[in-house]
Amino acid sequence: MITYLTQQLDLPLVEASNLITNFTGTADSFAGRLWTIAAGGVLSQLGMLGLVVSALVPTL
């Protein structure tokens, strides 16, 4: 995430770090730590599944 914010969005490193810290704190207080981690894990696995499917199916 830091790499994306600093290279693609041209944010300074300090501002990118601050943005991630604020987002993490907001997500943690909104959904709770357990649900935030669980939802992130599920979304990560869905993304990996999408990558696998797109690599296996040549028409995609």
Torsion of CA 18, 22, 28, 33, to 10 degrees: 0
Instruction: Please list the pLDDT of the chain residue by residue as tens digits (60 residues).
Output: 899 999 999 999 999 999 999 988 888 788 777 888 888 899 999 999 999 999 999 887
Q: What is the pLDDT of residue 1?
A: 86
Handedness of CA 3, 13, 19, 28 (dihedral sign): positive
Domain ranges of the chain: 2-56
Q: How far apart are CA 48 and CA 38, in angstroms?
A: 15
Q: What is the pLDDT of residue 44?
A: 96
From the number of C-beta atoms within 10 Å of its C-beta (0-12, 13-18, 19+), residue 36 rates as middle
